[in-house]
Structure 1
Amino acid sequence: MTSAKDTWTGSLFVVGSTCFLVGPFPGFAELVGARADAAVFFVGSLFFTSAATLQWLPARPPGGTDWWSSAWQLVGTLFFNVTTFRALDTAVGAADYNQVVWRPDAFGSVCFLVSGALAYVGVGGSWRRLPPRTADGRMASVNLAGCVAFGVSAAAAYVVPSTAEALDAGVANATTALGALAFLIGALLLIRQSRRPAASR
């Protein structure tokens, strides 16, 4: 991938991550209202998908670890497009919330976990090895941490039918913000790397 594409990809991820970082804060939701808060997540998901598409598009050998990691990531963002769009008009306590909102969110989180794991193994060469102390190694590590946080968030956001409330809304919001922060750091690392001379990467 060229430096220009890295910069664009990182910049799009920065915007998407910032949306998912700000959106979960109760103070922000109270300030702008529930629907506007949901719209922030939806807009953020669109930036995620734009970045993931740009990252996947460059010519790579189909079937390679990088290709599959990018492909799983892209599919995950599409699930997030669905869940955040449906959340615009579906309340947490609605009877069909788990089916129309939570389920695609969970699928998206699983896709992100697979993507993050593939990238981590691809950089380190094995689960048994820590990634090298390079820009790629740092990005793979921080992005995997973000994927794990999003997975925890999805599990905590499951709405218990008997109570019509999320399993643990506090944990869901906190881990969403933590995951977004990790993705934000990864995006900034990508932008930083894109601005370095090729020989120094």
Structure 2
Amino acid sequence: MTSYPEEPWHLAGQMYLSLWFVPRRELPRVVDGVRPVVIGGRGAVGAAWVVYENDSVLHYNELLRAVLVRDGLRPRVSITDIWVDSEASMAGGRELWGIPKEMADFAIDRSAGVRAGAATGKEVLATAAFEPGRRIPGRWPLTYRVTQTRDGELKTSSVRSRSTVRMARARWVAQEGSPLGELSRSRPLLSLALNDFTIRFGDVLEQAARR
């Protein structure tokens, strides 16, 4: 059995995020018990490359796609697709929070912005190039909740983060056969580089309850 840190996980690093508003019919399937937030027939989809480094409890790379959903009237984020290159992260994500992490190989070049790619075996999941632009002054806090399914029930976890923010230009490429093929069909509405972020993922009460 792969060991992993207890929650909450304290993580730090760099995130490169893009957002799309796509027609309802093109939204990824979300977990049972929540519904996508749809306005004017479109829903919000985000995709991100993440490098967890610095003072993180685990160091690894990540590619994910998520959808803005609602649990009743409460807004949530639901992760529909996610890959990492750490077995400890995969095991912890699945067992603690019901996040459907899979393994992949990553190639990331940060010499000029970021160029990243992820593949499983011979299948390329996606590649992306980010060119960071203007920095927004300050360090920006963000608090939200992630809802997944764990052991057949909804599991909602808190996330608190803080980062510097830069506007960015991004180009995503995913082959038609990739689970993320839709990402390259249109340009993102917004892309950001979230530099030197810190995140607390998970709830302290969960940890206490298991002891």
- What TM-score results when the alignment is normalised by the length of structure 1? 0.31
Work out which structure has the larger RCO, using CA pairs closer than 8 Å and 6 or more positions apart in sequence.
Answer: 1
Larger strand fraction of residues: 2
- What TM-score results when the alignment is normalised by the length of structure 2? 0.30
